[in-house]
Amino acid sequence: MALYLALRSIVVVVGKVVVYSYLSPSNDFTGRIEVQAHRGGMGMRSEESLWAFAYAMEIGADTLEMDSVFTKDGPDIYETKCTGDYVGEYIKNLTLAQVKSLDCDLQLHDYVQQNTHHGTKIAILEEVLELVNCYGDKDVTINLETKIDPTAPERTWPVEKYIELIPILSKHGLLERTTIQSFDWRTHILIHEQYPAVPLVALLDQTTIVPNTTGGAYPWLGGLNLEKDYDGDWVATAARDRGERYTLFTTKNVVDRANRLGMQVIPGTIDYEVMSNKMIDGGVHSIISNYPERVFAVARQRGLSIGHAKNPSMPECLTNASV
């Protein structure tokens, strides 16, 4: 179980940290918990597959959390557990056709409840957006992470490439229901410059809030110097960064401080009931989980409302899920 936090008007994870200051008067979470299905709910379905995102909508998850990376000729949804001729190569050097030749139906040992489908293929972003529209789910939102590493530029396209995600989301009518998250804060800076209305989520973990060994710069923080400018205070750094990012470990003190700075904390990935209870006790309003139904169960036991209306199964929307 990876842990992280997300700061936003409503985001959190326990091993990484996400921050995002976008508090809207309409985001009233009194008496309820927002549940984000991490990679579609990878504890129950093949991660980031169309099958997973369909499952998340069918159980009524609030948010589809997913990753995106660019191939030679377009963005796809990041998938790590596949077999085929191109496994081990950087996706940026492959075409979509080559990526689509991979089989991604492996059963993950850590997720024994995972339901796999023979011939599952990597989904491209447009297929996921088309799936949402095919289901007709008007309430589900998207939390899209850009997979980019500023310390390994040879692995992905330059950060400027990720601006192209915005027109794709807009084309399918889902931009207004999407937040963009990243550990690489350069993503947020560039997107905010061109699309200031897009909500941003800042991700952090122990590896991204430390300086490099040559010169003391913080490569993940988009030019911010955590030690020099903010005395090592992640919360203050996140608030300064237009609330778009924030790193912390989920305690009530952290949640209270973030709230005072106009941010909400969202921990992830929270996969066990005992941790969900601890997060709710700490005051969070949103939880990211590989097992969203476990979070639902805890919330119901505590008398909290969760999710939204379930969607019926729609196999006709999954024609691109497997070959």
Q: What is the pLDDT of residue 256?
A: 84
Q: What is the pLDDT of residue 23?
A: 38
Q: What is the pLDDT of residues 202-222, one digit of tens each?
A: 787 777 877 776 666 788 888
pLDDT tens track, the chain, 323 positions: 456 666 553 233 333 444 444 433 335 567 889 999 999 999 999 999 999 999 999 999 999 999 999 999 888 887 667 889 998 899 999 999 999 999 999 888 899 999 999 999 999 999 999 999 999 999 999 999 999 999 999 999 999 999 999 999 999 999 999 999 999 989 988 998 999 899 888 787 777 877 776 666 788 888 777 667 656 565 555 555 443 333 335 778 878 887 787 777 788 889 999 999 999 999 998 999 999 999 999 999 999 998 888 999 999 999 988 86
SS3 per residue for the chain: CCCEEEEECCCECCCEEEECCCCCCCCCCCCEEEEEEECCCCCCECCCCHHHHHHHHHHCCCEEEEEEEEECCEEEECCCCCECCCCCCCHHHCCHHHHHCCECCCCCCCCCCCECCCCECCCEHHHHHHHHHHHCCCCCEEEEEECCCCCCHHHCCCHHHHHHHHHHHHHCCCHHHEEEEECCCHHHHHHHHHCCCCCEEEEECCCCCCCCCCCCCCHHHCCCCHHHHHCCCHHHHHHHCCCCCCCCCCCHHHHHHHHHCCCEEEEECCCCHHHHHHHHHCCCCEEEECCHHHHHHHHHHCCCEECCCCCCCCHHHCCCCEC
Q: What is the pLDDT of residue 135?
A: 98
Q: Which CATH architecture has domain 4-312?
A: Alpha-Beta Barrel (3.20)
Q: What is the pLDDT of residues 23-75, one digit of tens each?
A: 333 355 678 899 999 999 999 999 999 999 999 999 999 999 999 999 998 88
Q: What is the pLDDT of residue 274?
A: 93
Q: What is the pLDDT of residue 253?
A: 82
Locate the domains of the chain by residue range: 4-312
Instruction: Indicate the pTM of the whole model.
Output: 0.88
Q: What is the pLDDT of residue 250?
A: 72
Q: What is the pLDDT of residue 6?
A: 66
